[in-house]
Amino acid sequence: MDISQIKAAIPRELMASVVVFLVALPLCMGIAIASGVPPAKGLVTGIIGGLVVGFLAGSPLQVSGPAAGLAVLVFELVRQHGLAMLGPILLLAGALQLIAGRFKLGCWFRVTAPAVVYGMLAGIGVLIVLSQAHVMLDQAPQPSGVSNLLGFPGAVSEALPVMGGGLGWQAGALGLLTIAIMWGWEKLRPARLRFVPGALLGVATATVLSVALALQVKRVAVPANLTDAIDLLKPADLMAMADPALLIAAVALAFIASAETLLSAAAVDRMHNGVRSDFDRELSAQGVGNMLCGLLGALPMTGVIVRSSANVQAGAQTRASAILHGVWLLAFVVLLSSVLQQIPVASLAGVLVYTGFKLVDRKAFKGLSRYGRMPMLTYAATALAIVFTDLLTGVLLGFALTLVMLALKAARLKIAIVPTGERQVELRLVGAATFLKVPALTKALGTIEPGTEVNVPLGGLSYIDHSCLELLEDWGRANAANGSRLIIESRGLKRRVEGRLRTSTELNAPA
């Protein structure tokens, strides 16, 4: 890119960075609140995602920051182990990402079945909605999805004065107003104003109304000095990583963050015709970013599709816009923290409720129906398990169902006995002949009349294991005395079958 091209690109990248900043500002704080940590920690993660990861990223147009997809996991980690342990867990998770990127394992994080990923996001979306519905009423969320669901009627009654409650209805009204503005803006916004994010519009409107009407609602607690939000990792905290539960949490966090990042990068690549993503470099950059977040006591980060798509739609063509959005976040927090302190918490909860509904992608669920019932079952089971148990259990269940589906597909075998002449038949096998099909193969061989020559071509098989091959050979030996002959035609597949293929002469020998 020559000097003239750089000069021409500067206004475009500046405009795109402002758009991304406006989208990121409410999301960084809202995701932090949903994660059970102070809003400023989400802003720190957004700043690192822009200034550091934006510079190192292998996906130039992808924007990194705190992700709604990790809010549920972080909330549970903080509840179980305390906020101090989030730093060591995140440091180890980032190190795992960095190592994986250096060893070029980025492509393997994208092997995850789409049904599991979509189911995971749907389950997370439901949990976010259930928890943030309480926050919209200026109340604390419960520790589980079921508890949030069962406790919601009581939360509503506590928010309504007519039912003996307090002033939570004011916060609820601001949250609903935010959701309504976001929904209406998405449907009706003019093409010329498409760069204005609905989340910012909704939060700004709710903030102005709450101040003008002097509503008694909870507001965002942001320190005047950003350094007050930084909790440097203490060496003593690292000793706690000997706990197996924390090690498992770090591995789970690294895997989920990496999968979400690389799936987002692949989606961003489909939105533009520019430089393609280098997944290994992107994974390494995310690792560096998460290690820094761990050292500073911030939230974990991933590549996030909402901010990334806004970046592409705003016309960005280089990594400059992602970096600059971090600059604007830093400048706003340092210079205008008093403005952030006026934002109602319920309005940010409304942003997260709307985001949670968007994570439950009905189109993705319908799209899975093209591939049969099993992917739909995997999607539903993963989502429900996450809602009723926890994130890790749901994801592991999704993987287990995927493996079951693969096993069932691998075990498919079509068996047909086709007459080819007088007392001659062909045993046609198509698919994979594994030990699971021994009963069916035994039944088919049992229908062959004595004194029949049986030809078994293996050209239709993708695989045959020792148990099926031995069954055929045993049948040939056992029926040689009644005049039957078994001939296995292996041809090019001879090297891929288990066991030694015998000739027709050997198969006719007495057992």
- 135/141 Cα distance (integer angstroms): 6
Looking at the fold, whether 351 and 431 belong to one and the same domain comes out as no
Q: Which residues, at least 6 apart from 367, have a Cβ–Cβ distance to it below 8 Å?
A: none
Range of the domain at 249: 9-114+136-143+167-356
- Residue 285, judged by CB atoms within 10 A of its CB (0-12, 13-18, 19+), counts as buried
Token pair recorded at residue 475: 């049948």
In the predicted structure, residue 488 carries a pLDDT above the cut 60 = yes
Residue 148 lies in a domain: no
Q: Which residues, at least 6 apart from 361, have a Cβ–Cβ distance to it below 8 Å?
A: 118, 121, 122
- Among 333, 356, 379, the domain-final residue is 356
Alpha-carbon dihedral sign for residues 459, 456, 429, 422? positive
Of residues 266 and 504, more confidence is placed in 266
Binning pLDDT at 50, 70 and 90, where does residue 31 land?
Answer: very high
CA nearest to 32, candidates 21, 23, 44: 44
In this predicted structure, what is the pLDDT of residue 502?
Answer: 43
- 63/322 Cα distance (integer angstroms): 6
In this predicted structure, what is the pLDDT of residue 8?
Answer: 63
pLDDT in tens, 125-184: 898 899 889 989 988 888 788 888 888 888 888 888 765 556 788 999 999 999 999 999
Q: The domain that contains 486 carries what CATH number?
A: 3.30.750.24
In this predicted structure, what is the pLDDT of residue 509?
Answer: 38
- Residue 31 near residue 240 (C-beta atoms within 8 A): no
pLDDT in tens, 44-69: 999 999 999 999 999 999 999 998 88
The helix/strand/coil state of 510 is coil
Looking at the fold, whether 84 and 222 belong to one and the same domain comes out as yes
Average pLDDT of 29-38?
90
Looking at the fold, whether 351 and 422 belong to one and the same domain comes out as no
In the predicted structure, residue 2 carries a pLDDT above the cut 80 = no
The end-to-end CA distance of the chain, in Å, is 79
Looking at the fold, whether 423 and 352 belong to one and the same domain comes out as no
Strand 485-489 relative to strand 453-457: parallel, antiparallel, unpaired?
parallel
In this predicted structure, what is the pLDDT of residue 412?
Answer: 84
- Which percentage of the chain shows pLDDT scores above 70? 93
Cross-strand bridge partners of residue 421: 424
- 241/248 Cα distance (integer angstroms): 10
pLDDT in tens, 455-468: 888 888 888 888 88
In the predicted structure, residue 362 carries a pLDDT above the cut 90 = no
Q: Which of 2-11, 138-147, 314-323, 333-342 shows the lowest mean pLDDT across its residues?
A: 2-11
User: Of the segments 9-18, 24-33, 354-363, which one has the largest average pLDDT value?
Assistant: 24-33
Residue 42 lies in a domain: yes
Looking at the fold, whether 306 and 426 belong to one and the same domain comes out as no
How far, CA to CA in Å, does 395 sit from each of 118, 120, 309, 433, 467? 11, 7, 26, 31, 34
User: Model's pTM, two decimal places?
Assistant: 0.74
In this structure, the number of other CB atoms found within 10 A of the CB of residue 477 comes to 17
In the predicted structure, residue 320 carries a pLDDT above the cut 60 = yes
Alpha-carbon dihedral sign for residues 155, 161, 166, 169? positive
- Among 340, 356, 372, the domain-final residue is 356
- Residue 400 near residue 119 (C-beta atoms within 8 A): no
- 33/75 Cα distance (integer angstroms): 9
Which segments within 15-86 are labelled E, that is strand? 63-65
Looking at the fold, whether 441 and 340 belong to one and the same domain comes out as no
- 300/132 Cα distance (integer angstroms): 19
In the predicted structure, residue 23 carries a pLDDT above the cut 60 = yes
Q: Please, what is the average pLDDT of the chain? A: 85
Residue 208 lies in a domain: yes
Q: Which of 23-27, 264-268, 442-446 shows the lowest mean pLDDT across its residues?
A: 264-268
Looking at the fold, whether 318 and 449 belong to one and the same domain comes out as no
Alpha-carbon dihedral sign for residues 258, 262, 267, 273? positive
Residue 156 lies in a domain: no
- Among 291, 324, 356, the domain-final residue is 356
Binning pLDDT at 50, 70 and 90, where does residue 506 land?
Answer: very low
Average pLDDT of 100-113?
81
In this predicted structure, what is the pLDDT of residue 356?
Answer: 86
- Residue 74, judged by CB atoms within 10 A of its CB (0-12, 13-18, 19+), counts as buried
- Residue 251 near residue 19 (C-beta atoms within 8 A): no
Looking at the fold, whether 38 and 185 belong to one and the same domain comes out as yes
Looking at the fold, whether 193 and 296 belong to one and the same domain comes out as yes
Q: Which amino acid makes up residue 113?
A: A
- Residue 471 near residue 441 (C-beta atoms within 8 A): yes
Binning pLDDT at 50, 70 and 90, where does residue 487 land?
Answer: confident
Looking at the fold, whether 418 and 320 belong to one and the same domain comes out as no
Total count of domains within the chain = 2
CA nearest to 83, candidates 75, 91, 71: 75
In the predicted structure, residue 323 carries a pLDDT above the cut 50 = yes
Looking at the fold, whether 77 and 187 belong to one and the same domain comes out as yes
In the predicted structure, residue 420 carries a pLDDT above the cut 50 = yes
Q: Which residues, at least 6 apart from 261, have a Cβ–Cβ distance to it below 8 Å?
A: 62, 64, 282, 283, 286, 302, 303
Kind plus residue range of the DSSP H or E element containing 244: helix 244-269
Kind plus residue range of the DSSP H or E element containing 327: helix 320-335
Alpha-carbon dihedral sign for residues 301, 262, 264, 131? negative
Binning pLDDT at 50, 70 and 90, where does residue 190 land?
Answer: confident
Q: Which residues, at least 6 apart from 196, have a Cβ–Cβ distance to it below 8 Å?
A: 22, 185, 189
Of residues 122 and 496, more confidence is placed in 122
CA nearest to 75, candidates 176, 15, 147: 147
Cross-strand bridge partners of residue 427: 417
Of residues 506 and 222, more confidence is placed in 222
In the predicted structure, residue 510 carries a pLDDT above the cut 60 = no
In this predicted structure, what is the pLDDT of residue 297?
Answer: 92
- 276/248 Cα distance (integer angstroms): 33
In this predicted structure, what is the pLDDT of residue 505?
Answer: 36
CA nearest to 251, candidates 52, 136, 386, 391: 391
pLDDT in tens, 225-250: 888 888 898 888 888 888 888 999 99
Token pair recorded at residue 187: 């449907």
Looking at the fold, whether 180 and 308 belong to one and the same domain comes out as yes
Strand 424-433 relative to strand 461-464: parallel, antiparallel, unpaired?
parallel
The phi, psi pair for 416, rounded to 5°, reads: -140, 140
In this predicted structure, what is the pLDDT of residue 404?
Answer: 85
- Residue 114 near residue 365 (C-beta atoms within 8 A): no
Residue 467 lies in a domain: yes
Strand 424-433 relative to strand 453-457: parallel, antiparallel, unpaired?
parallel
In the predicted structure, residue 27 carries a pLDDT above the cut 80 = yes
Residue 307 lies in a domain: yes
Kind plus residue range of the DSSP H or E element containing 463: strand 461-464
In the predicted structure, residue 346 carries a pLDDT above the cut 70 = yes
Of residues 143 and 325, more confidence is placed in 325
In this predicted structure, what is the pLDDT of residue 508?
Answer: 39
Residue 373 lies in a domain: no
Token pair recorded at residue 436: 């699971």
Q: Hunting for tokens 């198969």 — which residue is that? A: 507
In the predicted structure, residue 493 carries a pLDDT above the cut 60 = no
Residue 2 lies in a domain: no
Q: Hunting for tokens 């406006």 — which residue is that? A: 22
